[in-house]
Structure 1
C-alpha cells in the first residue's frame, strides 16, 4: 500500500530540528511517499519485508526513477528513529531509501540467525531491486553496526558506493578473542534482539527499565547459564560466542575480513574513537588502502550509536555516496579525516595511521610515576583482585549507551585494585595519533589472570578522563611480559595536563570476570582472589608506547 504522510507542522518541525541539531545536509523537499511491507523473495522462498521511502517530487532537472537508491538492511526493524533517519531523512534529501528487515525480524519470514543469511539475502534483494521501475539510479549501501556488516556481506552489481558506520567485516567475531568475553556488549545485544518486538521495548530500553535484569544475568555463574538467566531459555548466538572464539573455523562464511581487499566498490567508513568495532574498522580501511582501492575514513569523538556519529554517516551518504550513484565526482577531500580530541578539531591526513608519528616509551615507575626512563632497581607494585568484588568498568567502548565513552575516572582510581602511574605536568602539548600499546611485566599467584591497561588525560583540576584501553587474558609463568594493544586514538595532551596509565585485573561487566582458576571461561564457577605484581625496573621495563608527533615528544 502506498501512502502520503501528511506534511503537518509536527513533521516539518521534526525535520528542521533534526537538520539543525544533527547538522544534516539541507533537505531538498519535505514531501515524501512511503510504501510499506513490500515483499522480497529470498532464494529459499522466504519473504523479506521492506519499506520504500521516496521523494514526492524529483529535484529540478531529474526524474524520480533515476534518483540514487540507498539500500539499508537491518535486524532492528524499520520504524521509530531508525526508520526516520534511514527512510524519511534520506528521501527528503532527494534519494530513494529501501529499508529491508532481516529474515526472522519484524515480519520477515524465516529464522533470525545472526550473520548467517546476510550474503544470500543481500544478493536476492539487489536482484529484486534491479527489477523495480523506480530504481533506475545507482545504489548506495548504508547503515550502522549490524546493518553496516551486511554491506560487506553483499556482492554488489549495480552498487556504486558503500558507507559502513560503526561496523566491521566480521562484526561480532572481532569481540571473541580466545578466553575473553566482552560480556556487557554480548548480553545487551542478545537481550535487545530477543525482546525488541515486545510492546514498548524501545521505551523500556531508553529508560533503562531492563537494566537490573541484564545485570543479574551478567553476574550469573557459570557463564554458560547466562542466557538462561537472561531469557529463560538458551540463546543460539550466545552459546556460539561462548564456545567458538574468533580463530575457530566455525565462523567461516560469516567472517568476511579475508575478502575486504577484493571489494572494488568505493568505500567510505565512518566510526568513533569510543566504538566497539573501531580497531577492526580501521583494519578494514587499511586492507582497502593496501589493495589500492582509495577508500575514505572519518573518525569522530563518538561511541556506538551516538546520534552525531549516525548523522555524520548519513551526511556521507548524501554528499559523497549520492554523487557516485549519479556518476558524478564527489567533492575533493583527504582520504582520512580525524577528530583530534584534546585539541577538539578535525584534521585531514593521507593515510591511517598517519605518517610522521614516532613511537615513544613512557615507563611505569615506582611511586606511581610515569617517566622517560625506567628505574634501575625497584620492588614491584602489587594489588589483589577479588572476582566477587570485581574492578568495575567505567566509560569506554561498549554497546549499552549507559555510561559509555569518556568519563571521569577518579572514582575508579581510588580503588585498592587499580594501580595508576602519572607523569609530571606537561611543559608542552603532547600529540598522540595512531596505534597505542603497552608492555607490562606481571606476576600472579593464580594460573590465570587478566591485565587491563587504560590511558587517561589528567586535567589541571585533577579530572582523569579515559582515552583508550583494552584487556588481555594471561596465563603467567613467573614474571611474564604482557603486551596489551589498546584501541587506537587521536588525542592531544595539553600543556599543564598530565598523562596517566591505569593497570588493573578487570573491568566488569564490560569484560567477564576472570575467576583465577584457569578453568574454561564458560564453565568456571569458583572464584579465587588473585595477588598481582607489576614490575618496573631496568630488567622489566613496563611501559606504554605512544605514537607521538616529534615536535611534541618531550618528557619531564
Structure 2
C-alpha cells in the first residue's frame, strides 16, 4: 500500500495557537484508525547516519517506536505533531504545562478528518509517552488505547532517593535549550554567535556536569528556566505536589500498553504506571486491561544494542515493537478479536537465559523475597577484599570503612543513564574498573552451584554511620561471570537526610548508626551456574547523580571549596544486619 505524506498542517488548539502536524496515510481512499504522537524533539528530525534498514530520509521519532511504513500498510494513519513552542509549531514551550489540553485537541482533530475512522490511539517513547498520559486525562471518546514507552508519565521528578539525576536532567535541559536558541535565531530573537556558543558548550557535557555550583549554569539562563526550578526544590515540597496530581490515574480510562527497559532511567515510573492503573484506573476496562512489556533496553535504544553485550533479536527490536503495536491497536481501534484481552498481561525478557516470558502480573506472584546478608572481616574494600554475600545472618563482625571524597567521586559506568547519543556509556558494562577503588565495598557470593533467578524490585537495607551530617549511600547489583567480568544489572541511591521522608529532610548525627532502605529498582536476570552475585556499596555515582558535598547544606549552591570528606561505615552483625533483599523466582529449569 503506497503512502501519502502531508507536512506542517497547522492545527489550531482551543486557544488559537497552531501546532505543526504531519500526516502519513494510505494513498487509497478510505477511513482509517489514527495513531497520534506528539513530541518536542522535532517530528521531522532524520537519522544522522546510514544505519540499515534506516536511511537519512527516515524520521527518528517515528522509527524508534515501530516500522512506520508497515503500520501505514496495515491500514493506519500516523499523525506526528510538534508540541507547543517547538520547531514548526507556534507558541512558547513550557515543559509538561500544555500537554493535557493540546493533546486532547490533537485527538479531536485527528478523529474528525475525512480520512479518519474516528478511532484514535497514541504511541511514542519518553516525552511522547508523557503526552499520551496527559491527553488521556481529558477522556476523549475518540481515544481508545495508548502505548506509552519509557515514559515519566504526567510529570517529571528529577530526583531519586533525594539525589538529583544530574546526567538525565542537565543533558535533557541542555539539548532542549539548544533547540530553543536555534529556533530563536530563525525568529530574530537570538544571534548566530549565541547559537555557536551553545553548540560548543553542549558538545562537552562532561564539563557541564563538573561545573559548580550546579545553579551556575549561564548556558541555560533564560533558555531553560525550569532547570533552576528543579534545583531550587530538592525536597518533595509544594512545588512538586502542585505538579504531581494525586488523582491522575483515576482520570485515565483507556487500556495502556506500557513498554519499559531494564536499563531505562524511567523504569521505575513505567512499573508504577502499570501497577497503579490496575489498582486505580478510571474505568473497569482500564483497570483490567493494562499490559506491560519489559525488554533489555536503555532509554530510546531499541535498535542498536549495547557496546559490550547484545541480547540477540531483542536488542534490535523494531520488528518486535511493530508487531506489539499492531496487535494492540488492531484490537482496540479496529475491533479485531486477536486474543489481546485473554493473554497474560506481562511480558518480560529474562537476561542470563535471554528468553522472553509471559507472566500473570508484576511483581511476579510467586516471588520469594530473600535476604542476602553482608559479611566481612572489616576489609570489603575493592573486589579483592574480604566482603561476602550469603543467606546466612552475620554474627559479630567488624564494620567496613571507606572515605568518600566528593572531589574524587566514583564515576558512572553504564547502567540506566541517558543513552541518546551516548550508547557507548550505557547498559550492562563491566564494573571491574570501579571495583578496584578503595571507596567501593564489594560483597560477593561463592560461585553458584545452580542458577538463581532474580526478577522483581530490589531493596538494599544498610546499617551505616558517617562522620558527616549528610552523605549518600549507593548500591549496585552485579552479575560476576566466571572470567571475572562484573556486569551491572541495576543500581540506586539514598541521600541520608531523606532517610525518613523525601519531604522532610533530617540531618545525621555524626557516628550514630542509622538504618537506610535504598531502592535499587528492578531487574530480571538468571545468575547462571558458576556465576556470582555481587553487591557494590559506595557513596557516589557521578554524573548519574549529583555529588553530595557532605556538609548538610544546599548542595545545588555549593562550590568545590565547600566539599568535605566523609568517613562512612557499613555495619553487619546481629544487631545491625545489613542485607540485600532479592526477588528470587524458583521454577523448574
Q: TM-score normalised to the size of structure 2?
A: 0.82
**Which residue of 19, 41, 52 maps to 2:12?**
41
* Cα pair 2:213 2:556 within 8 Å, conserved: yes
Aligned Cα root-mean-square deviation (Å): 2.3
Q: Structure 2: how far apart are the matches of 1:514 and 1:552?
A: 45
Q: How many residues align?
A: 509
1:135-181 deviation digits (Å, cap 9, x = unpaired): 124111111100101111112321111100001323422x3357420
Alignment of 1:72-471 (within 5 A): 72-79=37-44, 80=46, 81-82=59-60, 84-85=62-63, 88=69, 90-154=71-135, 155=138, 156-173=140-157, 175-177=158-160, 179-196=162-179, 213-225=204-216, 227-228=217-218, 230-231=219-220, 235-245=224-234, 247-251=236-240, 254-256=243-245, 258-291=247-280, 292-308=287-303, 311=318, 312-332=320-340, 333-366=343-376, 367-401=386-420, 402=422, 403-471=425-493
Q: Structure 1: how far apart are the matches of 2:358 and 2:71?
A: 27
**SS, match of residue 272 in structure 2:** helix
Q: Structure 2: how far apart are the matches of 1:408 and 1:442?
A: 27
Q: Structure 1: how far apart are the matches of 2:201 and 2:543?
A: 15
Q: CA deviation at 1:489?
A: 1.2
1:198-250 deviation digits (Å, cap 9, x = unpaired): 779xxx9xxx986653222211111111x32x446562120121123573332
* Cα pair 2:352 2:527 within 8 Å, conserved: yes
**SS, match of residue 128 in structure 1:** helix
Q: Structure 1: how far apart are the matches of 2:323 and 2:259?
A: 10
Change (3 A) 1:551 1:89: closer
Q: Does residue 549 in structure 1 map to residue 514 in structure 2?
A: no
Change (3 A) 1:232 1:254: closer
**SS, match of residue 45 in structure 1:** coil
**SS, match of residue 408 in structure 2:** coil
246-255 vs 294-303, greater mean Cα deviation:
246-255
Q: Unaligned stretches of 5+ in structure 2?
A: 47-58, 184-194, 281-286, 304-314, 377-385, 498-507
Change (3 A) 1:550 1:319: closer
* Cα pair 2:146 2:254 within 8 Å, conserved: yes
Q: Structure 2: how far apart are the matches of 1:293 and 1:147?
A: 24
Change (3 A) 1:178 1:503: closer
Q: CA deviation at 1:294?
A: 2.0
Q: Unaligned stretches of 5+ in structure 1?
A: 1-28, 58-62
Q: Structure 1: how far apart are the matches of 2:167 and 2:35?
A: 32
Q: CA deviation at 1:92?
A: 3.5
Q: TM-score normalised to the size of structure 1?
A: 0.87
**Corresponding residue for 1:8?**
none
125-134 vs 34-43, greater mean Cα deviation:
125-134
**SS, match of residue 410 in structure 1:** coil
* Cα pair 1:180 1:521 within 8 Å, conserved: no
* Cα pair 1:406 1:466 within 8 Å, conserved: yes
Q: CA deviation at 1:261?
A: 4.1
**Corresponding residue for 1:530?**
566
Change (3 A) 1:151 1:252: farther
Q: Structure 2: how far apart are the matches of 1:211 and 1:239?
A: 17
Q: Does residue 472 in structure 1 map to residue 494 in structure 2?
A: yes
Q: CA deviation at 1:446?
A: 0.8
